[in-house]
Amino acid sequence: ARLDLPHDAPCSAGSDYLVVNVQGGVAGCQMLLGSPWASIDHEDPLGAVRQQGRLLFRPPGEESNCARCTWRRACGGGCPLLRGSDLHDQYCGVYRALFPELLRLEGERLVAMEPALLP
């Protein structure tokens, strides 16, 4: 995760990446492969995907649990398709454990690059 930038969208499914299943079905993310948007056999698969439009998920903070979370701008609220499920809660626990450690490690890396920044 890029912790130096806020994640205003919960994910980039269908806008910054696509997935292809073994049958050649194309979807906005792995969670949507059961209902592909297009096929790589289509004359213009990217055109077919563009016709689907961008996935519009609610941004982080609108969900009650995410609204109070310190890390909501780092994880983006997690997968919108998993919200409300036990799996989403498990991911939250992992993120809450990892993000502080990632920040600590990044701080150590930056200080090692610029020791003059130390008091």
- Are 89 and 34 part of one and the same domain? no
- Mean local confidence (pLDDT), 68-95: 81
Query: Has residue 105 been placed in a domain?
Result: yes
Q: Given phi > 0 = left and psi -120 to 50 = alpha, else beta, which region is 19?
A: beta
Query: Has residue 3 been placed in a domain?
Result: no
**Number of domain units in the chain:** 2
Residue 42, CA atoms < 13 Å, CB-side half-sphere: 16
The residue among 11 and 113 whose pLDDT is bigger is 113
Query: Has residue 5 been placed in a domain?
Result: no
- Percent of the chain residues past pLDDT 70, beyond the cut: 76
The residue among 49 and 118 whose pLDDT is bigger is 49
Q: What is the pLDDT of residue 27?
A: 86
- Are 50 and 73 part of one and the same domain? no
19, 30 in Cβ contact below 8 A?
yes
Q: Report whether pLDDT(52) > 70.
A: yes
3-state secondary structure of 92: helix
Query: Lowest mean pLDDT: which of 21-30, 49-58, 63-72?
Result: 49-58
Domain assignment of residue 15, given as a range: 10-56
